[in-house]
Structure 1
Amino acid sequence: MSSSDSLSSTAVAVVFFRPSTAQVVRVAERFGGRMPIFVFDNGGIPPDALSQLGTTPGVVRLGEGRNLGIGAALNRLAEAAAAAGFRRLFLLDQDADTSPDTARALGFALDRLAGAMKGQALVPALIGPAAAPNPGHKAPRYPLRPRTPPIGALLPVEFLATSGSLLDLAAFDVIGPFREDFFIDAVDLEWCFRAWARGFACWMDPATAIPHSVGRGTIRSRFLPLAMPDQPAFRMAVYVRNTTYSWRLPHVPTRWKLKQMAYLPAQVGLYWGHHGFDPRLLVRLLKAGAAGLLGRLGRPADAPP
C-alpha cells in the first residue's frame, strides 16, 4: 500500500457500550462519508443515536445489543472488515476523540515501517498514537521493547491500547484473535505480547496523540509514587484475574511478570483503601486473583448486560 493510498483499504471499527448520544454522533460526524465504519453494539446505544447511525453513510452495524466483552467485539469487527476486503482497521472505543487525520498519519507511519523492516525477522502488526494528557485520568504508559531499535521517530513498544491503533489485518490473521475469555481488561496487552512472540511488532508514533479515559478518575497514593484508574469493582476484579492469569502464559516476558507481581498487590491495597477498606471488596479481589492463577476465565457472573 502506498502512502497516497493510506486510507483506501482502511476501515474504522468502533465498540459501543452504553455510550452517550454525543459519543455516537461524534463518530458519525467525523468519519461518516470519509471512511467506512464498522460498529459493534455491545448494548445500551440510545435510540436517537441508533437513528443517527442508520442515516450515516458507510456504517455497518454488528452485534445484537448484548454485552459480549471487548475481545469478542473486536474480533467480530476484524472478521467483518477482512471479509469486506479491508487490509487495515482503525480501532476506536466510544471515548476516543480523534479523526480520519489520525488514521491517515498512522497509515503513513505503518507504510514507513513496512518499507524499513522489509526482509527483517519482525513484521509490523499494529501502530498507535501516544497517550495525550486527559485531565482527571491517568494516561497509560507504553514501555519500550528491549533490544529493538526505533525506526526514525517511531518507537517499538511492549504493548499499547487498542483504541486509536491501526491494525494490519493480515498480521492479525496470523497472530490470532483477541482473547474473548479475558472479557475486557488486558486484552490488548496479552495480544501485543503474543504478537512479539510470533515475530510481529507493535509500534507507537509519538507524532500522533489522542487522550484516553480509563475508569472514573484516578486514585493516587499519599505515600508512594503510585497512581491507578478508579474503576467499578467488577472491572477491577477482572483486571486482577486477567493479570494473574497472564503470569501463566509463556509468551508474556518474565520481566513483565516480575514487575506485575510487585505492582499488583500495591494496586489492590490502594484500591481497597480508596474504597473504605471494605472486607467484602478485598475478598472479592483476592478471589479474582486466585481465579486467574487457576485459569478460571470467561464472562464474569456480575458482568453488566
Structure 2
Amino acid sequence: MPPSPAPAPVAIGITVFRPTPEQVATLRARVAAEARPTIVFDNGGLPASVAAHLTACGARVLSAGDNIGVGGALDAIARAATAAGAAQVLLLDQDAVFTPAQVSELEAAMARLRALSQPPAVVGPRPEAAPGRKAPAYPRRPEIPDFGSLVPVAFLATSGSLIDLQAYARIGPFRSDFFIDGVDLEWCFRAWAKGYGCWMETRTALPHHVGGGVIRWQLLGIEMPRQPPFRMAAYLRNSVYAWRLPHVPRAWRLRQAAYLPLQALLYWADSGYRPRVLAQLAGAVLDGLRGRLGRPKGLPR
C-alpha cells in the first residue's frame, strides 16, 4: 500500500466570547507564538482594538455580528480553514493553554492513525482538570483496541481536538441548533456511525476550565461542573433531544436516562432548591422532547 501524501498545513481555530483581560492576553500570546495560520471567531465581546491587533499579527478574525453559538462558530472556522487550504484544523476555546509543540504531537498522532483501516475524524489530548474544575471523561470504545498511546473514545471535547477536514466534509457540520452543549458529543457519535474514528492521544494533556467550580454528590459519587442555569438547561435539552438520533448508541441513551435526573436534582439542590431553577430545568427537558432547539433561554447578550 503506497504511503499517504503529506498533509497540508494545520490551521488553528479559536472561539471567543466575552474574553477576560487574562484570556485576551493568552489569546495574544497564542497568536504570536504560532506559525500556523490562525482563525479567531468572535461570538461577541472581543474588543475592536484586540481584533485589529490579532489581524495585524496575521490571524484572521471572523464574526457574525452576534452570538451564533459554539456549533456555528466551529463550522465557520472549519469552512475558513478549508478555504485556506488546510487539511486539518485544531480547535481551541479561549481558556485553552495548548502549545505549538502539542499541536505537532497531535499532527503526528493523526499521521499514525492513517495506517489504520478506519480513517480518523479527530484526535485530541488527554483531559485534565484545571484547579477547582472538573475534567470531562471520554468513554472508550471497547470493541476497538488501543493503537500505541492512542485510545479510541466515544467522543472528545472540541477544545484541543484536531479535526480532519476531509472527514468533516463527509460527516457533516456541527449542530448549530445545539448552540453550546453536546455539540462535540453528537458530532463524534455521528463520526463513528459513518465509519470514522475518534481518538485520544494519552501522551499529551489539556487542562479544562469548564464551569465555575464543581458540584459534588459524594454519596453517589457524582461530580458535575457548576454552570449558569442557561448552560445546564441547554445541556438537559440537547441530551434529551439526542435520544431520538439514530447514531446515538442505545447504551448511551440508557445511561443518560438514569444519570440526567440525578444531575438535575443535584443542580437544583446546589441552587438552594429555588423554584425558578426547577421550572427552567423542567422546561428544558420539555423543549428537548419537543425538538425546540436553538438559542438557549436566558443566554446573556
Q: Which residue identity does 2:45 align to in structure 1?
A: G
Partner of 1:243: 239
DSSP 3-state at the match of 2:68: coil
Cα deviation code 1:57-87 (max 9, x no counterpart): 2x11111441100000000110011011110
Equivalent position amino acid for 2:233 in 1: A
Letter in 2 for 1:55: A
Query: What is the deviation of 1:54?
Result: 3.0
- Which of the numbers 189, 202, 208 marks the counterpart of 2:204? 208
Q: SS of the counterpart of 2:13?
A: strand
Deviation at 1:216, TM superposition (A): 0.7
> 1:137 corresponds to which residue?
133
Which sections of structure 1, spanning at least 5 residues, go unmatched? none
Tell me the CA shift for residue 300 of structure 1.
Answer: 2.3
Counterpart CA distance in 2 for 1:195 and 1:84 is 24
Structure 2 contact 230–297 (Cα < 8 Å) conserved: no
Q: Which residue of 2 aligns with 1:49?
A: 50
Q: State TM-score, norm by structure 2.
A: 0.95
Q: Residue by residue, what CA displacement relative to the aligned partner does 1:152-201 show, whole Å, maximum 9, x if unpaired?
A: 12000000100001000000000000000000000000000000000001
Q: Could you tell me how far 1:133 is from its partner in structure 2?
A: 2.9
Match of residue 282, structure 1, among 278, 282, 292: 278
Counterpart amino acid of 1:298?
G
Whole-angstrom CA distance in 2 between matches of 1:194 and 1:267: 25
- For 2:16, the equivalent position in structure 1 comes to 16
Tell me, yes or no, if the aligned pair for 1:21 and 1:49 is still in contact at 8 Å. no
Distance 1:51 1:84, change over 3 A: closer
Aligned to 1:261: 257
**2:193 aligned with 1:197:** yes
- 1:47 shift after superposition: 4.1
- Residue matched to 1:153: 149
Counterpart position of 1:299: 295
CA distance in 2, matches of 1:162, 1:129: 10
Separation in 2 of the partners of 1:159 and 1:195? 9
Uncovered stretches (5+) of structure 2, i.e. residues with no partner: none
Q: Which amino acid aligns with 2:72?
A: A
- 1:21 Cα deviation (Å)? 3.0
Is 152-161 or 47-56 further displaced after alignment?
47-56
Judge conservation of contact 2:215–2:226 (CA < 8 Å) in 1: yes
How many angstroms apart in 1 are the aligned matches of 2:52 and 2:63?
Answer: 16
The alignment's C-alpha RMSD in Å is 1.7
Q: For the Cα contact (< 8 Å) 1:125–1:201, is it kept in 2? A: yes
Q: How big is the shift at 1:24?
A: 2.7
* 1:39 match: 40
Matches within 5 A, 1:73-152: 73-115=73-115, 117=116, 120=117, 122-152=118-148
Where do residues 142-181 of structure 1 align in structure 2 (5 Å cutoff)?
Answer: 142-181=138-177
**Deviation at residue 242 of structure 1 after TM alignment:** 0.2
Structure 1 CA distance for aligned equivalents of residues 299 and 283 of structure 2: 16
